[in-house]
Copies of this chain bind each other. A is one copy, B any other.
Amino acid sequence: MRVVPRSLAEVQTPGRKLRSELKRGAILDAAEALFVAQGYASTSVDAIAARAGVSKRTLYDHFGDKATIYARTVERLSDTLLTTISDAIREEIPPGRDVREALVGFARRVVTETVPSSEYAVFQRLTARQAQPPALPSSVRNRPERLLEKRFAELTRDGLFQATDASLAVRHFTALTIGIAIDALEDGEFEVAGDAGTDKIIDDGVDAFLRAYA
């Protein structure tokens, strides 16, 4: 006589493969959080497994070793970031929108959407040369910038602002807005000020940028 509660099993289990994929995602989530908070070297595989609610063995069955976990984490982060930037460009800097509004909207959105997971900062920091994990090629690191560069070139062609060197303009723009905002957030500069602080930073940055490139 079968005592196996088939119905119960079917209800609480959404399929082997799906569940396996969920575990995989949970592992990457945990890994991302820990790598971001503590860095590569100080994050133990046991800690990742514990946080993911998964046995260490499962983790090693999914990914072969710690370096691979790290690589997959950064890859996923990179993809997410790329999507975020791509969406933000399309929706915040559409043809016809006032340039100042568009730039402020874009920067603000990138910063807020990548906080508190702080994808942008995390990505920069994790991909920075620390020689601990295998360093990533700068071609990967700069993908988001390339997207914005293309849009800036179009804006210049339409005469909306002067950026003969689109690559340079993007560098200056991100440095003046997103870069400074992320820096400030990492310093915990305004524990209270919150969004207002970053908003002001971004407004000021866009102001300066437009003064230089209008």
Contacts and interface: CB of A to CB of B under 8 A. Distances in A.
Interface of A: 37-39, 41-42, 125, 128-132, 138, 141, 165, 168, 171-172, 175-176, 179-180, 186-189, 204-205, 208-209, 211-213
Nearest to A205: B172
A138 B187 contact: yes
A47 to B, nearest CB: 13
A99 B171 CA distance: 23
Copies of this chain present in the complex amount to 2
11 contacts: A37-B131, A38-B131, A39-B39, A39-B132, A41-B41, A42-B132, A129-B188, A172-B204, A175-B179, A208-B213, A211-B212
**Closest 9 A-B residue pairs measured CB to CB?**
A41-B41, A211-B212, A212-B212, A175-B175, A208-B212, A41-B42, A138-B187, A172-B208, A42-B132
Contacts of A179: 175, 179
B205 A38 contact: no
Contacts of A125: 128
Nearest to A172: B208
Nearest to A214: B211
Contacts of A176: 172, 175-176
Nearest to A127: B187
Contacts of A171: 180
Contacts of A131: 37-39
Given A41-B42, A175-B176, 17 more contacts: A38-B132, A39-B39, A39-B41, A39-B130, A39-B131, A39-B132, A128-B186, A138-B189, A168-B204, A172-B176, A172-B205, A172-B208, A175-B180, A176-B176, A179-B179, A208-B213, A209-B212
